[in-house]
Amino acid sequence: MTAIDRVKIGCCGFPRGMKHYFSQFKLVEVQQTFYKLPRIGSVVKWRQAAPSDFEFTIKAWQIITHPPSSPTYRKAGIQITQDKRENYGYFKPSHEVMEAWHKTKEIAQALRARIIVFQCPASFVDSAENVENIRNFLQSLTREGLLLAWEPRGHWGDQIIASLCQELGLIHCVDPLERVPLYGTINYFRLHGGPGYRHSYSNQELERLKAMVSNKESYVLFNNITMYDDALRLTYLLSK
């Protein structure tokens, strides 16, 4: 198996129209599911429009991971009454969080997605309460073959990340040019632009990335302003 066969490359969201995007890539990470879940009918149409060998991954709904104080709730137009605010985000043991998981999984199944990504806010740190919540939440799930990737963005020690990922069967999702993944049967990389969203990756950076993914099954998702071009450039490098 060659490097290009082991590596799936795409973008976080569609930077071009779907039809054109499908002609260039075989992978996309759906962003809409993080903000506000689309209708099942809509995602069924996406799946039908895509080639049979095209793969969707999705971000878990923010209700699972983010508190109502997050600006992403306002962006999505989600309003939570004051008496319910403590029931949302941070993998809390609440009906609202579990219902958000069931709806997220329903979308994943409609898209025939293999991977769901839990992207956490910087405010979700390695406190005893947060560790207990994420452990209890993930242990309670019926995954039905789904792989789960976790992108912690707050302060978490390497030892607790590796331990939780191993215990809970998670892929440690990272930007590999910023930090080393600590656990996972496959790589799931999200490249946010390093110094900033407007950063365009240099040839040297893409060569480094190529070396990281060449010997292991890897998903590589670009999430910077030049994501489309950078993803195409990496595809070309891996084909050489």
DSSP string of 179-230, one letter each residue? S-----SSEEEEE--TT-TTPPPPHHHHHHHHHHHTTS-EEEEE-STTHHHH
Question: For the whole model, what pTM was predicted?
Answer: 0.95
- Residue 143, SS3 per DSSP: coil
Domain segments of the chain: what residues? 3-239
pLDDT of residue 101: 97
CATH architecture of 3-239: Alpha-Beta Barrel (3.20)
Taking phi over 0 as left and psi of -120 to 50 as alpha, with beta for the rest, 219 belongs to beta
As a whole number, mean pLDDT of residues 101-106 equals: 97
Is 80 exceeded by the pLDDT of residue 3? no
Token pair 């004051």 is found at: 82
Residue 121 DSSP one-character state: P
As a whole number, mean pLDDT of residues 78-82 equals: 93
pLDDT of residue 215: 83
Quick: pLDDT tens for 131-151. 999 999 999 999 999 999 999
